[in-house]
Each structure stands twice: as structure tokens, then as C-alpha cells.
Chains A and B, each alone.
Chain A
Amino acid sequence: DAGVIQSPRHEVTEMGQEVTLRCKPISGHDYLFWYRQTMMRGLELLIYFNNNVPIDDSGMPEDRFSAKMPNASFSTLKIQPSEPRDSAVYFCASSFKGIGVREKLFFGSGTQLSVL
């Protein structure tokens, strides 16, 4: 298995532009998570999906952020319009639901976003 695949690896954009980050979870995993990592705030959970349905988006910072999961093999995180303070590494992770136990997360390599 190729693992969780994220694209692009690096994104540099100007303030005000729309940014779309992409994620392909591991096949068979029914949970997908989006995290943001910065030095100041650490690893923040933005949103997670179960069977393509958003379960908890309370971590999404503002209305400028939106996430979708149109099918089991693809998810997007969109920022519109982007701002310099959105600069961070964005990770996607997936897992499957164990019976009675929490399963481990598999992370993608992340997207390094720089908003100028």
C-alpha cells in the first residue's frame, strides 16, 4: 500500500488566493483527519470524516476553511481567501475503526503551505 498520499508537497501562494490541498487515504480506511501544524500551536485537529461524512469540524479556524470528502478515496481542504497566518504544514491522516479500541492514525507526508 502506498500509504496516505497528499498533494502538493509544497505550495507557495499570495494572500487572497484560493488554495486547495488534496488527500488520498489508505484504501479501506473509513476515517480521515485533517491537521494543521505550526510552531506556535502544535498539531491542531481541523476536521475529521467517517465514511465520507464530516463528523466534527469544530477545529476549522474560520469560514475561509472548508473540507470535503466526495468519496472514500479523496478529500480536499480549501482555503479561500488565504492569509499569511494560514502558513503551516497541513497533514492528512486516515485510520479504520477498530472494535472497541481506538485505531492508530497513518499520516501523509504533509503539505507545506506558505502564504506571502
Chain B
Amino acid sequence: GQQVMQIPQYQHVQEGEDFTTYCNSSTTLSNIQWYKQRPGGHPVFLIQLVKSGEVKKQKRLTFQFGEAKKNSSLHITATQTTDVGTYFCAQDQTGANNLFFGTGTRLTVIP
């Protein structure tokens, strides 16, 4: 089956601190997606990375795809209480149109 490992599983930060979650795959990925799920909500798409070494930014969020396309990271600068939720990476099998989600990182932001 798919091996989509995410670390850490949980992260508590003080508001204003930075946060990073990492996604590691056992295989080379064609692309990777990131989703955010608020408590009690459903996953919502954030971004997709396709190119080796790609870096994309969305305001305080920075997404990176590894050079070998086997890992990815999401970094949030100066967290806010609105950042609370679980962040998932997701990958598909090469040549397939499925989508497997990582284990997720649950972020708690302490005001």
C-alpha cells in the first residue's frame, strides 16, 4: 500500500511561533497536494506541487517539494489562531487517479 508518512503527529505552538510539517514518501512522487482540515470540518485543498525543488508561497504558508520528489514540507510563519487544524499531504499512485492522504499533523495554536 501507499506509504505517506507525516511528522510530527501533533504540534502545539504559541501564537506567533513558526510551524513546520514534513511529508515523506517511500517512492518518487509525480506530484503532491496539501490540504487543511479545521476541527469538525472537512479537508480543503491548499496547494499542489509538481516540479522537483518547487517552492510556493501563500501569504504566511510556504510549501516545498524536495529535489528527489520524495518529500515535501509546509511551513507557517508567525502562526495565528486561525491556523488551527490538521494539515495533510496527499499523493497519488503513478498513472492512477486515486489520492492517498498522509497521517496528518494536528496543529494547536495557544493564544
Known: A102-B31, A102-B92. A43 touches B101 (CB 8 A): yes
Identify the closest chain B residue to A110 (Cβ).
B42
Q: How many residues of B contact A (CB 8 A)?
A: 23
User: What is the distance, in angstroms, from A57's C-beta to the closest C-beta of chain B?
Assistant: 11
CA distance A110 to B42 in the complex (A): 7
- Check A48–B97 contact: CB distance below 8 A: yes
- Check A108–B42 contact: CB distance below 8 A: yes
- A45 surroundings in chain B (CB, below 8 A): 98-101
- Check B99–A102 contact: CB distance below 8 A: yes
Q: Is there a chain A Cβ closer than 8 Å to B68's Cβ?
A: no
Chain B contact surface mostly:
loop
Identify the closest chain B residue to A100 (Cβ).
B50
- B98 surroundings in chain A (CB, below 8 A): 33, 45, 48, 55-56
Q: Is there a chain B Cβ closer than 8 Å to A64's Cβ?
A: no
Q: Is there a chain B Cβ closer than 8 Å to A97's Cβ?
A: yes
- B104 surroundings in chain A (CB, below 8 A): 42-43
Identify the closest chain B residue to A4 (Cβ).
B42
- B100 surroundings in chain A (CB, below 8 A): 45
Residues on A lying within 8 angstroms of B by beta carbon are: 31, 33, 35, 42-43, 45, 48, 50, 55-56, 91, 93, 97, 101-102, 104-110
Across the A-B interface, the 7 shortest Cβ-Cβ residue pairs: A104-B45, A43-B101, A107-B42, A107-B43, A42-B103, A102-B31, A110-B42
